[in-house]
Amino acid sequence: MNDTDLGAGSLSVGWIGTGHMGAAMAARIGRAGMDLTVWNRTRSKAEPLVDVGAKVADEPGQLADRDVVFTMVSTPADLEQVVGQLLADSARAPRILVDCSTVSTEASERVRATAAERGTAFLASPVSGNGRVAAAGLLSLVCSGPREAYDEVAPVLDLLGRHVTYVGDGEKARLVKICHNIMLGVVAQNLAEITVLAEKGGVPRAALLEFINNSVMGSMFTRYKSPALANLDFTPTFTPVLLRKDLDLGLRAGDELGVPMPVTAAAREPVQAAIAQGRTSEDFAVLLELQARNSGLDLVSEDAVIDDGLGAADEVH
């Protein structure tokens, strides 16, 4: 293979981790007609990808002959385990490993070192979005690691979302993802506060959110969270426990780098309160309900029909 003449179609791709998020991302690669092999601990979650042209492996080590392998797993321990299995065969290893999971910098550094021992370039490439955002092709990705490896897999990364940002070497992408999730927590709490403020003044939640979404302050996030806030749908996409973890990581990074973060510290408190009240397995949108309770307001679903901006996610299934 000529390394100077690589496009997305010329790379063989392996994918480890086909949960709700990973399956949606891998499906986009399969639909692009690429040579794709997938593995998941629960095989039944990988098998639907056969419909988009993927082959299903029996174990991670069977992906070692791929040019590039992507990982999308739940925890740092999962990542280290599957990478260990992927690289167990001393005779072969993928040239590039791309991790799209959200894991700690420390875990990422350990995986990077393990990959380097086998001559595999490692790219950290966490993503912004949930499963429906992924299915709609609207993820944003941030990537760090060797520039040559990034340039080689950029055509594949482009298939996964609407934008990819390369931020440098090492673990810089992990810091950027922490910054992103800090903003997620701050905006979520602020959105809960203003929504309750408007409702106590007699404005329906759906009406306020419609205005915000169509103003300069609206965003993809405020739009796709609007149905949850108006209709009190707390089906989990990201839990308060996970949000607290990232806020804590951000505060720790602030301490290490000498950056005061008073707004982040304040945003952590209602998230911690939600956890203390047992709201650990619901979506972090439960911050709205806690804010309402603290404001003497009882919420009811508005049963509003609201466009979340992710209609394309329903068209690709």
H helices present in the chain, as ranges: 20-31, 76-86, 105-117, 131-135, 147-160, 172-200, 205-213, 220-231, 240-257, 262-276, 287-294, 311-315
Is residue 278 within 8 Å of 290, Cβ to Cβ? no
pLDDT at 132 over 90: no
| 237-263: average pLDDT | 95
Q: How confident is the model at residue 224 (pLDDT cuts 50, 70, 90)?
A: very high
Q: Using one digit for the tens of pLDDT, what is the confidence trace for 52-72?
A: 999 999 999 999 999 999 999
**Of all residues in the chain, what percent carry a pLDDT higher than 90?**
87
Q: Please name each of the domains of the chain with its CATH number.
A: 8-170 (3.40.50.720), 175-315 (1.10.1040.10)
Residues 6+ positions from 161 with CB-CB distance below 8 Å: 127, 129, 134, 137, 138, 139, 140, 141
pLDDT of residue 140: 96
Q: Please tell me whether residue 307 adopts helix, strand or coil conformation.
A: coil
Helices 205-213 and 220-231 pack at an angle, to 10 degrees, of 170
pLDDT of residue 9: 61
pLDDT of residue 313: 45
Tell me how far apart the alpha carbons of residues 68 and 85 are, in angstroms, rounded to a whole number: 15
Range in 134-138, 219-223, 273-277 the model is least confident about: 134-138
Is residue 134 within 8 Å of 204, Cβ to Cβ? no
